[in-house]
């Protein structure tokens, strides 16, 4: 639905709740909405695309005014976020009351192997030190490394464990963020991941996500679950959170469009399960391209959805 329809429906539901209260009628149809009390949720700055760059201080002020409480950074480049030195970016965020909780950082290599292991460690050391300097608690790899076989996933686990040690030494927590490819399966000695399927897995096959959890140390490596990409990977994000309650510690809240518009995502159950698992960091990530809707307008609508949802604290 477009913005006017969202606002129209919201106003109708609000009116309905008043009528229900006056007439002692069940308000079940309005339970998704409640008062605009301050909620706690964050924004992945990737959502803003190129719209943030021309006026970073002004853009961050708008984000805070929308109701976001904290940020997850994108665009790290050797001491800068985009074109802005990291210390300056932090001050801009501090000035408008936005805490920087996490950052997305990709190493320069597409895949990990024994030849670039030392290079990877040097990269993570520099990135960890630079983010520790601005007191960012989580450093997260969002790009899936090459994982064509069980052996390759096991080696990725070694690299992640090493990145986790480096992050821990700097006072940070390392984590990995999924897309849909991590829900494909691999076999020992394989040369390609198997296609996504809901059917029975071949004998000996492992889901990459499961293998990543298996081959990493829980004290060093956590996971940020992107709930939309989990669904695109034919998985139930609620089931994944229940399967790995101690490993999935952050969430990306995403839809195929503005949050709540498609009916694809069961956000109520996702949030309820997250709270049961004591997850308290949720980042809106908007990646759709809707004609006539700017990125800032879209993330504002997402904030309105979460602010008005009764299941969001």
What confidence score (pLDDT) does residue 186 get? 98
To which CATH superfamily is domain 39-308 assigned? Answer: Divalent-metal-dependent TIM barrel enzymes (3.20.20.150)
Give the mean pLDDT of 146-152. Answer: 98
**Is pLDDT at 76 greater than 90 in this prediction?**
yes
Give the mean pLDDT of 222-244. Answer: 98
What confidence score (pLDDT) does residue 301 get? 98
Q: What is the pLDDT confidence band of residue 37, given thresholds at 50, 70 and 90? A: low
pTM of the model: 0.88
**Helices 150-169, 117-132: inter-axial angle, 10-degree rounding:** 40
**Is pLDDT at 9 greater than 50 in this prediction?**
no
Strands annotated E in 157-238: 173-177, 185-186, 206-207, 221-226
Instruction: Name the average pLDDT for the chain.
Output: 90
Domain ranges of the chain: 1-31, 39-308
**Is pLDDT at 253 greater than 50 in this prediction?**
yes
What confidence score (pLDDT) does residue 244 get? 98
**Is pLDDT at 15 greater than 70 in this prediction?**
no
Cα separation, 100 vs 136, in Å, equals 6
């Amino acid at each position: 639905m477009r913005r006017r329809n969202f606002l129209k429906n919201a106003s109708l539901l609000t009116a309905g709740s008043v009528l229900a209260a006056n007439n002692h009628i069940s308000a079940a149809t309005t339970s998704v909405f409640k008062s605009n009390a301050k909620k706690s949720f964050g924004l992945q700055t990737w959502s803003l695309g190129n719209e943030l760059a021309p006026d970073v201080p002004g853009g961050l002020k708008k984000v805070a005014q929308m109701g976001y409480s904290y940020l997850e950074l994108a665009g790290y480049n050797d001491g800068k976020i985009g074109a802005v030195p990291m210390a300056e970016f932090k001050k801009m965020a501090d000035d408008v009351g936005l805490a920087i909780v996490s950052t997305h950082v990709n190493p320069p290599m597409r895949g990990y192997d024994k030849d670039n292991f030392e290079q990877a460690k040097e990269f993570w050391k520099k990135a960890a030190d630079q983010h520790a300097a601005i007191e960012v608690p989580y450093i997260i790899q969002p790009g899936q490394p090459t994982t064509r076989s069980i052996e390759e996933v096991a080696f990725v686990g070694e690299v992640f464990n090493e990145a986790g040690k480096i992050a821990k030494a700097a006072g940070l927590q390392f984590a990995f963020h999924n897309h849909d490819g991590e829900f494909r399966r691999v076999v020992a000695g394989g040369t390609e991941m198997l296609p996504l399927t809901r059917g029975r897995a071949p004998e000996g096959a492992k889901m990459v996500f499961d293998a990543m959890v298996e081959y990493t140390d829980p004290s060093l490596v956590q996971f940020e679950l992107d709930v939309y990409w989990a669904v695109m990977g034919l998985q139930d994000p609620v089931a994944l959170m229940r399967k790995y309650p101690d490993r999935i510690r952050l969430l990306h809240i995403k839809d195929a469009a503005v949050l709540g518009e498609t009916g694809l995502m069961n956000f109520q159950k996702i949030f309820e399960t997250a709270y049961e698992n004591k997850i308290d960091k949720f980042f809106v990530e908007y990646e759709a391209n809707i004609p006539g809707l700017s990125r800032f307008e879209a993330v504002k609508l997402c904030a309105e959805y979460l602010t008005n949802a009764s299941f969001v604290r």
